[in-house]
Structure formats: structure tokens, C-alpha cells
Structure 1
């Protein structure tokens, strides 16, 4: 864990809840003299006294990444035009830490030992807007216009730190601050209770900001084992929490896309009764209902037979079968891209014309230049979904989703683990032409409608059967 230097935060005005008199009243009515093991300090902090937070903290503990937009623009306008009203117009900033000390003169020494679950729990957009407002005092507005994300602002903050110190005293506006700490930092049980509560509080406070289920799960550590196994080229493009990615030509990979793929090996494990609970998703939901895949994934990962809590709310994977499914998952993005890129040629090799269908577009600049009707051709080259590799056809991925699910036919059980029966990339390269020839039947029955294909369970099971047949053929060749 990364430790930050101790931070001193000075309140202009602060109130303690519950205070000593409150605790006396609580103790006469309940068996506890605190509320859920949590103490709260609320009050106002002057802008200049937020400098230590900008210097040493980031937004790891905040489930949503802060991004500029209408919200931050409104906050900055309020700071510029009516700073005296800002503490009453803004909900402010929520800070949480399990290690603190109350000092004299309304000062608090805060120590953040786990930045993944402690720090700024809510109010990231306020922090971003305040930081940009302060930077405006030392920078040109046009330079700041390019800033979109919190990390960009932090980079500028560090570069302009000396200049910011020189104008520090001008920032006397008040900011509402709420500080959550354990009711008794000397009591281990109290501290543990606080750590378990922080994530729920954080999620609840972010509900108004449309916090996604995937973002909460990321905070619980449900995705750590997946992230660690993925090809770094894929992992670096995954949007693990909301607003983490800036809009760009290269779109981020949604984490629920990976969770959907995870159910291919997880379904195989469940069929073998290897999961601690009977849980699966229908093949068609991997395409049409990724939200359901995400919910089922959370249910699985929350099970005591799959993970255990460590370091407060964070979960650690303990189930070897599920771990083996994540090993399989690490190969699926590459296999998905391989099937997408190679299927058109595999289909054509059987004497068919994949590009003849109007939902298929081709990237072929010379042919486009010569063609009278250019509607079948692309101006720019398409790329694969996961590894962003250039391809020559663009078509709805619903056409090949049953084939992706068909990879389950190459998975087998070894003791309590799901493993590949063969090296999957080489196998797909070797047998995709054969499988594509048989798959034409499914395409014809669905009339090349990607929705009918991807939402029909029978098309998925057909693909699984074709991969299993190809595997039998492969093994028979090796025995000759």
C-alpha cells in the first residue's frame, strides 16, 4: 500500500457529531455510544487550506473519476461570481480516513494508509473545479481549456506549485467539508467496522451521480484478479470506473464487456458443478444483457466460497476454479479479435461472399476509388474491439458472438480447474475455415440478422458443437 505524508487540514468552523454530550444521550438509549463506529466532523475550510489535499491526495477512493463538463463549469462560475454563497450552494467534499488526530485550533492531522479506500470519497468534481479555479490565477484560460480529467489538473498543479503558493492567500472562500473517522481509533474493532462501512457510504453518496455497479465492484476488488491477468495492452484500455476515459478516437473497453466474456468459462465450470453456488448466464445474455452478466458476476464474487474480505471492504479471490476461469478469460479478448478479423476470409474460403451482405462494409481504398456505388466501402480503416488492430471488414459483432461463445467447446476440466484442451489461438487459425463453412447454415437461417443470431441460444450451442467436432477431428489426426 502507498502511504502519503501526514496532512494537516484546518477548519474555519467545525462541529463534531456525535460529541461528548451526544454520546451520553446515545448511551442511555442504546448499547453503543457511537453511530455505526463512525464519528463525523462537519464544517467549512477556506480554499487556501485545501492546498495539502491537492498536494498529496488523488481520487483513488472516489468511485467516479472527475471530469470537466457542465457540473465543473457551474462550480467554477459560482466561485468566480458568488464565492460568498459557495458554501451554501455546494455539498462540498467528503473525506474519510481510519487514522487521524484532532489537534488544537480546529486542525486535524490526517494519515491515509490505503488510498484505494480512504481519501476523497465524494466531491471529486468539486475538487477538480476548485483546482482549476485556483490555476486560473496563475495560468492563461486558454491553457486550462484543454484540461479534461483530474490527472491532467494534478500535473499542472505540480508544475505551477510555486506560483500557486504566491497567490494562496487570495483564496479565502469557504468550502463545506465532511470528515468521517472511526469513533475510537484506539479500538481495533471500531476501526475495522469503519473500514467496512466506508465503501457503502461512498457508493450511497455517489448515487446521485449515477454510480454504476461496475464502479462499486471495482472498489470491492472484484476485478483485481482479472486486471492482473490481462494483456497490458487490453487492461490499459479498460474503463474500470465511470468517466475514467477522456473522449478520443480510441474508445475505451467497457468492463462489462469483459465480465460478459468471463461467463463463457464460468458457465463451463458451473456445468461441471465446480462453483460453490449454482450460477450461470444464458449464452445470449453475453451479448444482449451485459448488465445481468455484471450482476451475476458480483453475486458470484461476493460468495464466501469464492472470496474473502481483507483490508476493510476489499475482497481477495480464494477459489481455484474461478481463478482458472480468469486465466481462460485473459485469452478471450485476443481470440475475440482473431475471430472478428479472420471470419470474413474464412467464410469466403468456402465459396461464399461475406462482403455481399449490405450490413458488411469493406475497407479497400483502390476499389472504393473505382466503384460507382461507394456505399459498401469505408473511408477509414476499422479496428478490432480489444487490441485495436486494423482490419478490412466492419460488421455487427452479433454475427460472430455465437462463435466466440463456441470457444467453450475447447475448454475441459482438469481436477477442479477449467483449462484449454488445445492452444486456442493456433486452433482457431487452423480450423476457423471449417467452422465457418458449417456456421453458414446459422447465418442463412437468421438471414444475416445479427440480433436474431446473437439473441438465439440455439445458434450459440450450434457453435459450441462445431468447435467440439473440430476438436475431435484435431485429436483424431494426432492419433494417426
Structure 2
């Protein structure tokens, strides 16, 4: 159902320029209730999060509420359909909640909501509000109570509406919708909007998100500030986007990636921002995606789609290599835990150890799927091996795919690959920076995976 709300201004003015009409003015806080009732921050590139910004806003609301509309930039709304009603009222209809709604001012809305709830909710309940979603839950629980104090909320909030000049004119409407995302990004520039957040708003990550295992996708911070957890850290979107370049580079080598766009293997570890930029450059090509609603795009390139199908399994393979490499290294005569950069998890040994710094006090887990492991060490040590997975990818009918089941392949071959890779580790003296930032170590790992695959295929032909 398309969200539809009515906003009533105390003071309002309209400005029109081309396909965009701007409606600006001051709205009494009590007239913002429809926003709290019916909207979220899906259209805002950043999710609102309690912090120093909201603390400053709350201080203003508490100390000088009569000056709030002069001290705050307020809230920016965008809607593709609207009607001008009597008494400074506007009915707004948000056709695409991912691109329309609250475009900027999420922290203002969060602080205003907390301020209103502070009149009716318990102190404990207020302290539990960290994100916009927490506010929405508390708002729903206390909705009848805030309605009773509604008339006391007379402080003004600056509100700006962006609507199409002529909602009935198709060309004008398309131009307006395409402009919203650019306006939204520009308004958020002072908040250092990340490359990944911008790409997410354009829909460039949707196909990846849909293919990843849910337990991985749910832990990814697709846009700034949307993650809040006391017990686990989020996976950054750029971590997954960087890994996408393993199958994408395989396509590029086969001449199947539009524009011959690629990234250096070492950048998957050392320069993930560059990986994100190159990803957006690829995904905004018309031979990869088509524009749909406004600035959002839809993937249609079958080669790139196949790369995302392969990517879906790489986070789990990454964690499998991280978890199992120490044992594989030890199995060929090494002593992985004997290196100072590696820390062991062994609570019993830690109690009696002369040097407790050799051990970690808390259970370490792998980055993507949360597998408990016995060793904690920098991911740079195994990053070339993760890139080595490219060596067991094949090209079939213009698509990239696994030549063998990658999990079973690692079960059979990781020990032999570790034996060869040990030379690289020893030459780098277990320096994760030297390993992960060196293109030669990545290409060496790819070669070892290819060699192991070739040996298996040769044995199958003989047998």
C-alpha cells in the first residue's frame, strides 16, 4: 500500500523551478505525527542513530524550543504525488518508499521523536532507543499516550517538501524522480555519505543482497548507521563488494566484462573503496543495468548476474579458509600458532601461561558466518588464498561458474595448497601487509588452485 499522509504548516511558501516545486515553511511538532505514524527512513541514505548529533538537537529542544526552527535545518521530504488542500495542508503520496519520503533530517526526526516520547515513556524505555527502528517501536507502544499530550507540542520544525510541478505530466514526473536521488545525496554530502551508501540507494546492490545467505545479508551494513548491536559487529558492504571482484575479474580476463573494467587483486584487501567505485562504474553502464524508477537501476547483464551467483558462496568459503588454514599449515610441518602475529584461544592454557599475550581472552569468530575458531590472526595472511578461488572458476556459455564444488575442493586440496603457500608466508615473514598488498602473492595462489584443479581433472581422465 502506497503511504499517504497529510502535513499542515503554520507558515508556508511555494517556489517552482522547472519540473520541481519546493514547499517550505514551519510545521508545529504536533502536525508531524503522520510522519512518525506512516514513514521510515528507507529513502534517507543514512539511518539515524543516537549520538552527539541527536544529543545536541535534544538539548536545543529542551533548553530553547521556541528557537528550534531557527537553529535547525529541519526535515526534507520528497513525494511524487501531492494535493494542495485548504488551511496550509498538503496531502502527500509516496509512490516509491525507497526513493521518496524522508530524504534528509533523519537525526532531527529521531531527536524530535525521542523528545516527544520523553513526556510519556519511562526513562529506561528512552535509553533503549538507539536507532530509528527503536523509536518506531517505542512510538507504537506509546501512541495513545502521545496523542493525549499532542496539543502541548507547539514548537516549530522547518519542513521542506519537494514535489513535481505537474504530477500528471509523465515527462515532468520522470525528471523529478530522477532528480530526487541526486538532491538527496547532495543534501547529505556534509555527512560524508559513503560510496557504498550511494550505490545502495541506486539499487546497485540489490541482486547481491538477494543472493547472499540471509544470515550474511542481514549482518551487512548496506547504508551508514543502520546497524546497532551490542554483541556483534556489522559486515561492511564494501567487504562483500570487494569479494565480488574475484568472479568479475575472471569474466574480465575472458573478455566478457563490459568496458574491460577490473581491479588489481591486492585492492580487494588494501583499497576496498576503489573496488566500490569500480563496481558502481560497471553497474551504471547501460549494457549492465537499465534505469527503472528515477535514478535506480535494474541488472540485466547475464555475465554479471553469473558473477553474483558465484559471489553468493564466497563469504562462507572465505571463513572456511580462515578457520581451516592453520591446521592445513601445521599438517605440512609448520607451526602456525608459533608466530607472534597469531593468537590462540585456549582458556585453560592461558591461565598458566607465562606470557598471556600469546592467547586471546574471548572466543574469536570468522568474519562473515561467525564460525568459532581457535586462532585469531590478520585476514591479510589468507587474503591471497581467498583470491586464489578464482583458479577454480570456469567460463561456460558466457557466464562464470565453479569448475568444482568449492567446499569439497577445499576439503580435498587445502593441505597441498597450504604446503606451497607456506613458501610465500615464510618469504614475507608472516607480514600480512606484504602478503595482502602484493599482487604476486595473489597470482601465486591462483596458480596453486589451478594446478590442484588440473591434477584432479587429469586423474579423472586417467581413471
1:259-298 aligned at under 5 Å gives the runs 259-298=241-280
Verify: 1:250 aligned to 2:232, yes or no.
yes
Given the two structures, how large is their TM-score scaled by the length of structure 2? 0.99
Equivalence for 1:66? 48
Return 5+ residue gaps in structure 1 as ranges: 19-33
In structure 2, what is the equivalent of residue 382 of structure 1? 364
2:106 is aligned, of 124, 134, 137, to: 124
Q: How does 1:47-66 map to 2 (within 5 A)?
A: 47-66=29-48
Residues 409-454 of structure 1 show CA distances to partners (whole Å, capped at 9, x for unaligned) of 0001001100000000110111000000000110111111000000
TM-score between both structures, scaled by the size of structure 1: 0.95
Partner of 1:322: 304
Given the alignment of the two structures, is residue 414 of structure 1 paired with residue 413 of structure 2, yes or no? no
**For 1:277, what is the secondary structure of its paired residue?**
helix
Aligned equivalents of 1:87, 1:247: Cα separation in 2: 33
- 2-structure distance, mates of 1:291, 1:424: 27
What is the aligned partner in structure 2 of residue 405 from structure 1? Answer: 387
SS at match of 1:42: strand
Aligned counterparts of 2:384 and 2:39: Cα–Cα separation in 1 = 46
User: Superposed, which structure 2 residues align to 1:385-464 within 5 Å?
Assistant: 385-464=367-446
Provide the rounded CA distance (Å) in 2 between the counterparts of 1:247 and 1:288.
26
Deviation, 1:247, is 4.6
Secondary structure in 2 aligned to 1:241? coil
Q: Does 1:42 align with 2:24?
A: yes
Q: Does the CA-based 8 Å contact 2:125-2:138 persist in structure 1?
A: no
- Corresponding residue to 2:454 among 465, 468, 472: 472
Higher mean C-alpha displacement, 365-374 vs 437-446: 365-374
* Structure 1 residue aligned with 2:57: 75
> What secondary structure sits across from 2:13 in the alignment?
strand
Task: Give secondary structure in 1 for the equivalent of 2:46.
Answer: coil
Of 161, 164, 167, the residue aligned with 1:182 is 164
Moved more, 73-82 or 320-329: 73-82
The aligned residue for residue 2 of structure 2 is 3
Match of 1:218 in 2: 200
Deviations 1:212-244 (A, max 9, x none): 111111010000000000000100000000001
Name the residue aligned to 1:31.
none
The answer to whether the Cα contact below 8 Å between 2:14 and 2:23 also exists between their aligned partners in 1 is yes
2:14 to 6, 13, 16: 16
In the alignment, the residues of structure 2 paired with residue 311 and residue 373 of structure 1 have an alpha-carbon distance, to the nearest angstrom, of 60
Decide which moves more: 322-331 or 247-256.
247-256
| 2:82 corresponds to 1:100 | yes
**1:30 maps to which residue?**
none
1:14 is paired with a residue of what secondary structure? Answer: strand
Greater shift after overlay, 98-107 or 240-249?
240-249
Please state if 1:300 is matched with 2:282: yes
1:170 aligned to 148, 152, 170, which one?
Answer: 152
Aligned length, in residue pairs: 462
What is the root-mean-square deviation in Å for CA atoms of aligned residues? 0.9
Q: How far 1:396 sits from its partner (Å)?
A: 0.5
Provide the rounded CA distance (Å) in 1 between the counterparts of 2:243 and 2:410.
17
**4+ residue runs of structure 1 moved beyond 4 angstroms?**
none
Distance in 2, Cα, partners of 1:58 & 1:411: 41
| Counterpart contact for 2:128–2:134, Cα < 8 Å | no
Inter-partner Cα distance in structure 2 for 1:342 and 1:415: 34
| 1:183-223 per-position Cα deviation (integer Å, ceiling 9, x unaligned) | 11110111110000000000000011111111111010000
